[in-house]
Structure 1
Amino acid sequence: MKTFSIIFLSLFLSSFIAGDAHNEASKESEATVLICTGKYSKRYHNSQCKGMKACKGEQKKVSLSDAKKMGLTPCGYCYK
Structure 2
Amino acid sequence: MTDTHDPGHGNSPAAWVAVIIMLIAFTIGTFAFWFELPWLVWASAGLLVLGLITGAVLAKLGYGVKGPKYAPKAHS
Q: Same fold (TM over 0.5)?
A: no
- The structure with the greater share of residues assigned to helix is 2
TM-score (norm 2): 0.35
Q: Answer with 1 or 2: which has the greater Rg.
A: 1
TM-score (norm 1): 0.34
